[in-house]
Chain A
Amino acid sequence: MFPKRFVLGSLSGAMAFLFVTSSWAADLAEIKQRGEIRHIGIRYANFVTGAGDGLDVELMQGFAKRIGVSYKLVYSDFYSVIRDLLGKDVVRQNDKVTLAGDYPIRGDVISAGFTVLPWREAILLYSEPTLPSQVLLVAPAESDLQPIKDGADLAIDIANTRKAIGSKSVLVMERTCLDPTNYGLVNVGIDLKSYNKSANLNEMVPAMLNNEAELTLLDVPDAILDLRKWAGKIKVLGPISDRQTLATAFPKDAPALRDEFNAYLRDLKFSGAYDRLVDKYYPGIRRFFPEYFAKTN
């Protein structure tokens, strides 16, 4: 009879060419010599819309102009973004973070509403904060859970919100700012449903409304957009996390690039142009974090 596997196994050679085109991340001098900065972006809320614009896209375009190079946007996702910057995959075991493997480096900087988290700080250089954030708990409008009352103490608000979860299932996305391990939600009896159909945070609310879970975690930037998009269909129950910080991330070996970016960011905030950018893409966020923007002003 005919063999079933007599044609298998010949694809490995074709994979080899994928590694030929890789190039290396670089510090400021090399980028200026190359004449192009590659911005790794993730289609996420209004940071990188996917339509060629977004808060971080305009931010990085301005930076490219300042250092006199051309700008290129490279799309990635939350699962691959660090690998695309460092050429190494991230392995997290308990509190340990290690880098493994060899992959093509696709860009010089990550800027996409990227949350500053301790494990990320261990392997990346962060810029000064670009925006504050917070993770909220969201339910469908018809849910029997009621939003918490505003309290004076954020810790009490968080405790009340977590208490409300009870036996409900919660939609989360690992390796992103909605990763439950960041907020101590793992192994505490909460029914966590990991969303892995895509790495796009914009899909969390539609997935919840599609009954994939009874509740979902959601960050403030996404909440601002989704409260308009799904008005009357969802409700914010309360905060799950402390205030967080979003910033632009660089490889550890690109300190000059990071310092130049910090100087650019300070100038931008001083001129008021940064506030206008924030108002353009997140018209409500200055109301949510008045103390942060009071400082920038």
Chain B
Amino acid sequence: MILPLIRFGRSLAPRWLLISAGAFLLSMFFLIGNLYTSQVELRQNDDARLVSIGEARATEISDFLSVRRQAAARLAASEDISNYFSNLDLGMSVRYGLFANLATIERRFQATLDEEKYQEQPAYLRLAFFDSNGVAQVEVGASNAASPSAAGGDLGEPNIRIDEKRRLIVANAPVFLKGTTRGTVETVSTLNLLSSLISTNDLGRPHEFLLGDDGEVLLPSERDHSAIVIQGPVLAALTPGRIQALSNSTAPELKGYLALRSPVGGTRLSILRLASEDEIYGRTLSPLSVFYLGLFATVLFALAIGFEGMRQNAARLQIKFVESNRHRAQLAENNLALSQEIRRREAIEADLQRQTDALDASNSELRIAAAAFNGQEGMIVTDTKGVILSANRAFVGLTGYTTDELVGQTAKLFRSHRRDAKFYRRMWDSVRVTGGWQGDMSLRTKGGENCARWLTISAVKDDAGDVTNYIGSYYDISKLKHAEEKIQELAFFDQLTGLPNRVLLFDRVRQALNANIRSKSYGALLFIDLDNFKTLNDSLGHHVGDMLLKAAAQRISRCVRADDTVARFGGDEFVVLLANLGTHKAKAAALQAEAIGEKILVAFTQVFQLDTYEYPCTPSVGVTLFSPEDRNVDELLKRADIAMYDAKTAGRNGLRFFDPAMQTMIAARAAIETDLREDLKKERLLLHYQPQVDHEGKLLGAEALARWPHAEKGMISPSEFIPVAESTGLILPLGALMLNTACRQLARWSADPATEHLTIAINVSALQMRQKNFVEEVRGIVEQTGANPRRLKIELTESTLVSNVDDVIAKMDKLKAIGIGFSLDDFGTGYSSLSYLKRLPLDQLKIDRSFVNDILVDPNDAAIAQMIIALSKSLGLSVIAEGVETEEQYAFLAQLGQLNYQGYLFGRPLPSADFEILARAFSSRHRSKRVRGSVNGTYA
């Protein structure tokens, strides 16, 4: 058994060279085969990349044109143009009216022309506004850029066209008003703006050209490209999205170039990219070169066989020669054979060296391909049925599946269910037709999570053009998505409350106005302002203020319908948009809007729990309706704002509808507020003193009343400025100034025997009383001025006691402890409650002037006055009647009991100097004779 094997081995030994060459040939075939496959794949990847860049460039141009279209539409929808047509419809002439609108439009156009830039260049050459007859009413910019086919036709929607001859981009947008087209806005830009989007081959990149529909070369304009100009129509007809060789071109300059045409979406333009093979694929081995390499190895093998045959022939000749010349030529023959053998071996060795070098180069290319496949982005390779053949490490890491789990499966394994079957059918249709697809895709990982990726599918084709594989690349766009969402949130939503902000509100109001034109129904805007929010912010800080805003936003949101919008307009202002009230009758719409407004008011009746504070907060709501005829968003908001201020003026916590008359009134109030603030700083407000007397006519003191001598308007009535002071918070500095002035007056009076006994009653508002440090402030003023606190009487109104009675009582007790007295002003007009009256440390009740006025004619008023006097007796309080103006009123009140009095009958409010003269006159008469008649005799 062994011997035959040994013999077979020995028989092969002489053929070792042939066997080695055969083995070498086989290994070469294997390596060259792999090299060929790699080269084909690399070229397909380069093709896909070129197509992708071409499409991206076309998208950039399409986006640019879309922006121009939108800009024209924005100008067409401007309020200024709307105002122009409103006034035109009213019959106004250009000379006496419309000139103002046209000037405003011209100003807006000029500002747009000056300010809007694209890559540091002016975005427009010219802007124009045409009426429905096509007559230009406003034109700004270069007149030589005027469009020869000036718009005037009936445009349905914004459009854009390219004036190829004049190299202009012309965008037209219709002006709609009340559902009809009234005119057109036209913007004109130079085509050269697109130059920056078209790359040249200066940096080794391919040539790019922008072609018109008929193949005219629009860009670049200044380069020498006569061959492209000539071949333009042919190039414009190339199949889009496919790389094609220009081997059949009649222009010799283009031979050897590859061309790709990418259409610009929504236009008749195309991007044409030209490049040589070297520029696209680099200087790598072509598949043909690899084929020649294989052929060379085969030739080498044939040569080896030839050499072997020659060697055997030489051996046979040598044996014959040995037989004939055994002694003479044997050595020479052997030497010759040996030298031949050496040369042959050297030749083979050199050849082997060349092949080894080629193999090394081939391996290097394979390593590059492998590195590309194992890059940062997930990639899979499938067969034509979508069955996964391989997946790279990035894809395995992305999905959580192992390579073994992925191979043999289809993409259904990791599809999310956010897309329907129709979407996937369209996607594969695109892949089959165009050889590729790209788009936004959501993947489901093995753990069940969804992640956003940008998927690019590229088909791999063989030499015959048949698809052999698909390559799927998943680019990570999650950060981009997140950034987009964040930008969206920041741009349109308020960060504190999460509600839509002013920008989004304006957009929605515009949408609602447009929608209501179609539905012909009413909508409404509710302007909500939180009452006294500034006071809360100042006293408890912005942190608590923010908590209130968030809670208020939630309450308002719960009161509206799902389709309505609640927006934070700024500060403590909210706006509710009731987009469609579903009726074309104003009255029915108003009732609906009022119902929602009332619901909001009710929602605020519960106190807000803000951290450790319980805070009662009320809103003031202004409502305006808008009909299909209303187009001006600013005007609507202004109306709602005015109505809200009316609600504030009416005492807050209420709802008012818009009334144009409010405009004038509010302007006057604003002027009063400004001047009052200024005069308070300069302490220009004064106190006048109105005498208070007892039942015998003895002067007891005075009520101090605020007076405002305005530098320009003269004396302003308290009924005008006190409500303004209360609504703006100026009542706090005003109250402090008045209290200080009154205490200084008391201190001065204490030095004069004629006035030392007199008291001063001073009014304190509810807002002052609610101040935390009110007691300390009063004590401080009394100590600082040296006033006798027992001569100071604070008059409170019943409204002071409406909320937090316990707090008011505690403060009154503290002030009472240092001797300050209290009088309840306007008693009987408001919330009089016997339960709290008993608990208040009062000294006096005041019968309001409204009862005294009609006490002689209205039995009810007389009965109320009587009841107040009886009540004060039972509580041990004194009573003062104010507003006593006639002898008859005095006589009637005198018969009810021993009262104190105040009113014009006893003296008008006087400046301090005049009051002191009066007090001295009283004092001297009282020393001489304590009867009322003597006073009468002196001053009548």
Identify the A interface with B (CB < 8 A).
Answer: 1-8, 10-11, 14, 50, 75-77, 136, 141, 146-150, 157, 197-198, 203, 206-207, 209-210, 223-224, 227-228, 231-232, 235-239, 279, 283-288
Mark interface residues in B436-475 (1 if CB within 8 Å of A CB, else 0).
0000000000000000000000000000000000000000
Shortest beta-carbon distance from B560 to chain A in Å: 29
Q: Is residue B86 contacting chain A, with contact meaning CB distance below 8 A?
A: yes
Shortest beta-carbon distance from B113 to chain A in Å: 15
Residues on B with C-beta less than 8 A from A50 are 671
Shortest beta-carbon distance from B227 to chain A in Å: 53
Q: Is the CB of B83 within 8 A of A287?
A: no
CA distance A6 to B93 in the complex (A): 65
Residues on A with C-beta less than 8 A from B100 are 223-224, 227-228, 284, 287-288
Shortest beta-carbon distance from A289 to chain B in Å: 10
Q: Is the CB of A2 within 8 A of B905?
A: yes
Smallest CB gap from B97: residue in A:
A236
Shortest beta-carbon distance from B559 to chain A in Å: 32
Q: Is the CB of A239 within 8 A of B96?
A: yes
Q: Is the CB of A146 within 8 A of B691?
A: no
Shortest beta-carbon distance from A230 to chain B in Å: 9
In the complex, which of the residues B92, B697, B712 contacts A235, with contact meaning CB atoms closer than 8 Å? B92
Q: Is residue B249 contacting chain A, with contact meaning CB distance below 8 A?
A: no
Given contacts A231-B82, A284-B101, 4 further A-B contacts (CB under 8 A): A6-B918, A6-B936, A10-B914, A206-B661
Q: Is the CB of B87 within 8 A of A232?
A: yes
Smallest CB gap from A134: residue in B:
B96
Q: Is residue B727 contacting chain A, with contact meaning CB distance below 8 A?
A: no
Residues on A with C-beta less than 8 A from B911 are 10-11, 14
Q: Is the CB of B107 within 8 A of A283?
A: yes
Q: Is the CB of B91 within 8 A of A146?
A: yes
User: Given known contacts A6-B907, A7-B907, A235-B97, is B939 in contact with A1 (CB within 8 Å)?
Assistant: no
Q: Is residue B740 contacting chain A, with contact meaning CB distance below 8 A?
A: no
CA distance A50 to B674 in the complex (A): 11
Residues on A with C-beta less than 8 A from B712 are 75-77
In the complex, which of the residues A5, A77, A207, A279 contacts B940, with contact meaning CB atoms closer than 8 Å? A5
Q: Is the CB of B87 within 8 A of A3?
A: no
Q: Is the CB of A287 within 8 A of B103?
A: yes
Q: Is the CB of B697 within 8 A of A7?
A: no
CA distance A271 to B494 in the complex (A): 47
CA distance A232 to B82 in the complex (A): 9
Q: Is the CB of A147 within 8 A of B914?
A: no
Q: Is the CB of B101 within 8 A of A6?
A: no
Q: What are 18 A-B interface contacts by the 8 Å CB criterion?
A: A1-B932, A3-B940, A6-B918, A6-B939, A7-B910, A76-B712, A147-B96, A206-B660, A210-B661, A224-B100, A228-B83, A231-B82, A231-B87, A235-B97, A237-B96, A238-B93, A284-B100, A287-B103
Shortest beta-carbon distance from A141 to chain B in Å: 5
Residues on B with C-beta less than 8 A from A75 are 712
Smallest CB gap from B82: residue in A:
A231
Residues on A with C-beta less than 8 A from B668 are 198
Residues on A with C-beta less than 8 A from B939 are 3, 5-7
Residues on B with C-beta less than 8 A from A288 are 95, 99-100
Shortest beta-carbon distance from A228 to chain B in Å: 6
CA distance A173 to B282 in the complex (A): 87
List B72-113 residues whose CB lies under 8 Å from chain A: 79, 82-83, 86-87, 90-97, 99-104, 106-107
User: Given known contacts A3-B935, A147-B91, A235-B87, is B97 in contact with A227 (CB within 8 Å)?
Assistant: yes
User: Given known contacts A283-B103, A288-B99, is B887 in contact with A1 (CB within 8 Å)?
Assistant: yes
Shortest beta-carbon distance from A284 to chain B in Å: 3
Q: Is the CB of B104 within 8 A of A6?
A: no
Residues on B with C-beta less than 8 A from A136 are 96
Shortest beta-carbon distance from A100 to chain B in Å: 20
Smallest CB gap from A238: residue in B:
B96
List B852-898 residues whose CB lies under 8 Å from chain A: 887, 890
Q: Is residue B390 contacting chain A, with contact meaning CB distance below 8 A?
A: no
In the complex, which of the residues B91, B101, B932 contacts A227, with contact meaning CB atoms closer than 8 Å? B101
Shortest beta-carbon distance from B182 to chain A in Å: 14
Shortest beta-carbon distance from B94 to chain A in Å: 7
CA distance A5 to B885 in the complex (A): 11
Q: Is residue B257 contacting chain A, with contact meaning CB distance below 8 A?
A: no
In the complex, which of the residues A3, A157, A209 contacts B936, with contact meaning CB atoms closer than 8 Å? A3
Q: Is residue B632 contacting chain A, with contact meaning CB distance below 8 A?
A: yes
Q: Is the CB of B96 within 8 A of A287?
A: no
CA distance A79 to B878 in the complex (A): 51
CA distance A98 to B357 in the complex (A): 118
CA distance A7 to B697 in the complex (A): 15
Most buried by A among B90, B908, B914: B90
Q: Is the CB of B908 within 8 A of A236?
A: no
Smallest CB gap from A154: residue in B:
B95
Residues on A with C-beta less than 8 A from B904 are 4
